[in-house]
Structure 1
Amino acid sequence: MKTADFDFDLPPDRIAEHPVRPRDAARLLEVGSTLRDFIVRDLPTLVQPGDLMVVNDTRVIPARLDGRRGEVAVEITLHKRLGEREWATFSKPGKRLKPGDTIVIADDFSAEVIAKDGMEVRLRFSAGGAELMEALHRHGRMPLPPYIRRKADEGDNADYQTVFAAREGAVAAPTAGLHFTPELLAALDERGVRRAPVTLHVGAGTFLPVKVDDIADHKMHSEWGEISAETAAAVNETRKAGGRIVSVGTTALRILETAGRPDGTLVPFSGDTDIFITPGYRFRIVDLLWTNFHLPKSTLFMLVCAFAGYDRMRAAYRHAIDTDYRFFSYGDASLLHRTDPT
């Protein structure tokens, strides 16, 4: 398929700059054999006792830094951890940086340019491990996506974290999880829906556009993830008992499908994944997908088309745009039923 097959016109005013409050007051579009409009807090009526929700417990770090290389201002967005002190980054203006350059972020915090590879700039920071994390919390800010045009403010420190956030390492939020509140989780518990965590440290590459004409030529970014033996067992027990696996977000889905076997069982996993899911893919683990509304021509829109069906998702997005759903990270939610390819 062509990248142009996944394009659509999105009015700029549909892009949410801030979340709704409370979080579970956002709108919800159920996409199955028909399209049905709900509110996020209606979710317990759309799932069944015995279902298992798999959530991503990654926590976003303050991954955007401002520094200077001499007189040149540099904006750094961390992308992927490579070592105790080294990160792959997207740094602007990347063309003006070269190996050996030093970027001063604060009097006690700097980074050296180690290498460049296309859009990526590899940096070695003056601090590592826990000291690096402390420096990021002192000097960094929340790495809001590029389509949110304002700068991150104090409110984003809470708004851009999910209630599941526990393990630091993401540089973008697993945004499907942003809709959940303690009250909604309590209602799901009462419904008899269990939860299990996975980790996928979301990278800034999730926002990279697909620039090739044929999607088969696209090179997917890699991200680190982990599935514990306990979560794998919970998934396998649920499926054996006839329950459904509800993935909270495309990030949880990608790590689940990475570790899924052809027979539909899940194994523990720890490592990088660069799985790229497009129409024609046969899903092994996930039955329902809870997700936000995604960018045109993005790998995430390709994924939801693979999951729920290309024509069905085109129709769903037309409905969402026509009825003023809010798009992207701080936008509304959808609940997708899987449609297997024939």
Structure 2
Amino acid sequence: MSAFPDPRLLSIHDFTYQLPAGRIAPEPLPNRDQSQLLVYRRGQVQDKRFTDLPAELPADALLVFNNTKVVRARLFCQKPTGGVVELFCLEPVAPHRSVELAMQQTGGCVWKCLVGNGKRWKSGPVQVEFSVNEHSAVLSAVRLETAEGYSLIQFSWQPAELPFAEILRAAGHLPLPPYLNRADTEVDAVRYQTVYAAHEGAVAAPTAGLHFSDAVFAELKSRGIATAELTLHVGAGTFQPVKADRMEGHPMHAEPISVNAALLRQLLHHAPHPIIAVGTTSLRTLESLYWLGARLARQPTLSSPDFLVTQWQPYEGGPEVSMPEALQALLDYLERTGSDTIQATTQLLIAPGYAFRVVQGLVTNFHQPESTLLLLVAALIGPDWRRIYDHALAHDYRFLSYGDSSLLLP
């Protein structure tokens, strides 16, 4: 599909286009499902509405959604002198590294954070006062150390019996994408979440899912379109720009994924019918499952495999494993260990030159120039990505997180 022999040699500057600021959607539309939908099917482009999506999907498709939920990860704390320090919670460090466990932690915890206005925060605690169920509460933060642009922040709070998830819900703000350049609102509190969001832990929304409404789900059901869910907690690295001249110099961010045995069985039973990912995060998770399973299939005696997909793993060669073999290896592992869920981390970078093992189609928004998300789209549909983006620009599509949608069926 691609003329590129090795994605590591790609220059991100070959994946750019002119995006006028006025084409970036600053706010969501009044109704989720009234966005435009660009349909790309076997080289042909059509303009639709998102409510047309169920009719445009293959009748035997399986749609896979990322059910992560965005947390209010931005905290505006006051110094004793009155100045404000912003803490952007990125990932938990102690006592738990699991996002799910960290959200239930009471009393105190340590997180890796970005610190805004940090140069003016020399030492000592900063605080934010808030209320929970009409009772006053306070969150305190102390900086333990700083490295590589991040800080380790020790949080403690009163009442101590509250879980950290409740603290963030009451004291935090939604981390809107930086290019929106505005504060979050009550509208964002609803619209920067999917209607099916379930597991708290993301610091950015899986934006392809923002278009789905109850009415669209009802139409999917009436047409017999199968659906499934997985979890990838979207990290701030999704906005990380590519600064390297070649992709081999770009460190891909790591994100935690969680997939249960029921989904693995559903994927196995659905093959060879089309599996369509809703969003790049769902796609990266589904493809990562293949690479996790392929490792187990090649080394079935591994008792405690390292469940990490590195960014270049797919491009390093090795004996080929079929998709059913890879998924079955994961199911066999779960059965051996008495577990029901694969918990893993993925740094998978999908770029032109990548061969898809699980996914045959994608529902996604329109992405930033020179981004790893645009590389993923180009990997799926080849050089036609540029024709699609030119069409979207010429036909008044709205771009990025609150923008319009596309259905890509190569």
- TM-score w.r.t. structure 1 length? 0.93
Partner of 2:182: 150
Q: Give, in whole Å, the separation in 2 of the partners of 1:130 and 1:222.
A: 29
Q: Give, in whole Å, the separation in 1 of the partners of 2:17 and 2:170.
A: 40
Partner of 2:71: 61
Alignment of structure 1 residues 1-342 onto 2, 5 Å: 1-32=10-41, 33-71=43-81, 72-82=83-93, 83=96, 84=102, 85-96=109-120, 101-106=124-129, 108-127=138-157, 131-239=163-271, 242-260=272-290, 261=294, 262-265=321-324, 266=327, 267=330, 269-309=342-382, 311-338=383-410
Matched letter for residue 264 of structure 1: M
Q: Give, in whole Å, the separation in 2 of the partners of 1:129 and 1:252.
A: 34
Check 1:181–1:95 CA distance in 2 against 1; reply closer, same or farther (3 A cut).
Answer: same
Range with bigger deviation, 80-89 or 29-38 = 80-89
Q: Give, in whole Å, the separation in 1 of the partners of 2:163 and 2:230.
A: 26
Aligned to 1:313, the other structure's residue is in SS state helix
Aligned to 1:155, the other structure's residue is in SS state helix
Q: Give, in whole Å, the separation in 2 of the partners of 1:286 and 1:130.
A: 41
Gaps of 5+ in 1: none
> Residues 150-207 of structure 1, C-alpha deviation per residue, up to 9 Å, x if partnerless?
2101111100110110111111110100000011011111111111110001111111
Check 1:231–1:34 CA distance in 2 against 1; reply closer, same or farther (3 A cut).
Answer: same
Q: Contact conserved, 2:274 with 2:361, CA < 8 A, in 1?
A: yes
Aligned to 1:209, the other structure's residue is in SS state coil
Check 1:108–1:331 CA distance in 2 against 1; reply closer, same or farther (3 A cut).
Answer: same
Q: Give, in whole Å, the separation in 2 of the partners of 1:121 and 1:199.
A: 26
Check 1:289–1:160 CA distance in 2 against 1; reply closer, same or farther (3 A cut).
Answer: same
Matched letter for residue 165 of structure 2: M
Range with bigger deviation, 43-52 or 215-224 = 43-52
Alpha-carbon deviation of 1:301? Answer: 0.9
Q: Contact conserved, 2:85 with 2:121, CA < 8 A, in 1?
A: no
Q: Contact conserved, 1:89 with 1:121, CA < 8 A, in 2?
A: yes
Matched letter for residue 296 of structure 1: P
Q: Give, in whole Å, the separation in 1 of the partners of 2:346 and 2:18.
A: 31
Alpha-carbon deviation of 1:140? Answer: 0.7
Q: Give, in whole Å, the separation in 2 of the partners of 1:94 and 1:244.
A: 49
Q: Give, in whole Å, the separation in 2 of the partners of 1:305 and 1:90.
A: 31
Matched letter for residue 231 of structure 2: T
Aligned to 1:227, the other structure's residue is in SS state strand
Alpha-carbon deviation of 1:8? Answer: 1.4
Matched letter for residue 333 of structure 1: S
Check 1:39–1:154 CA distance in 2 against 1; reply closer, same or farther (3 A cut).
Answer: same
> Residues 208-230 of structure 1, C-alpha deviation per residue, up to 9 Å, x if partnerless?
11111111211011111111100
Range with bigger deviation, 88-97 or 34-43 = 88-97
Q: Contact conserved, 2:12 with 2:245, CA < 8 A, in 1?
A: yes
Q: Give, in whole Å, the separation in 2 of the partners of 1:129 and 1:264.
A: 46
Gaps of 5+ in 2: 1-9, 97-101, 103-108, 130-136, 295-320, 331-340
Check 1:306–1:90 CA distance in 2 against 1; reply closer, same or farther (3 A cut).
Answer: same
Q: Contact conserved, 1:51 with 1:246, CA < 8 A, in 2?
A: yes
Check 1:272–1:69 CA distance in 2 against 1; reply closer, same or farther (3 A cut).
Answer: farther
Check 1:133–1:21 CA distance in 2 against 1; reply closer, same or farther (3 A cut).
Answer: same
Q: Give, in whole Å, the separation in 2 of the partners of 1:81 and 1:292.
A: 29
Aligned Cα root-mean-square deviation (Å): 1.8
Alpha-carbon deviation of 1:246? Answer: 0.9
Q: Contact conserved, 1:63 with 1:142, CA < 8 A, in 2?
A: yes
Q: Contact conserved, 1:97 with 1:113, CA < 8 A, in 2?
A: no
Q: Give, in whole Å, the separation in 2 of the partners of 1:312 and 1:91.
A: 40
Q: Give, in whole Å, the separation in 2 of the partners of 1:278 and 1:210.
A: 13
Alpha-carbon deviation of 1:70? Answer: 4.5
> Residues 213-272 of structure 1, C-alpha deviation per residue, up to 9 Å, x if partnerless?
111211011111111100011111111xx3210100011111111111441233463122
Aligned to 2:72, the other structure's residue is in SS state coil
Q: Give, in whole Å, the separation in 1 of the partners of 2:365 and 2:200.
A: 22
- TM-score w.r.t. structure 2 length? 0.78
Matched letter for residue 397 of structure 2: Y
Q: Contact conserved, 1:78 with 1:204, CA < 8 A, in 2?
A: no
Matched letter for residue 398 of structure 2: R
Aligned to 1:126, the other structure's residue is in SS state strand
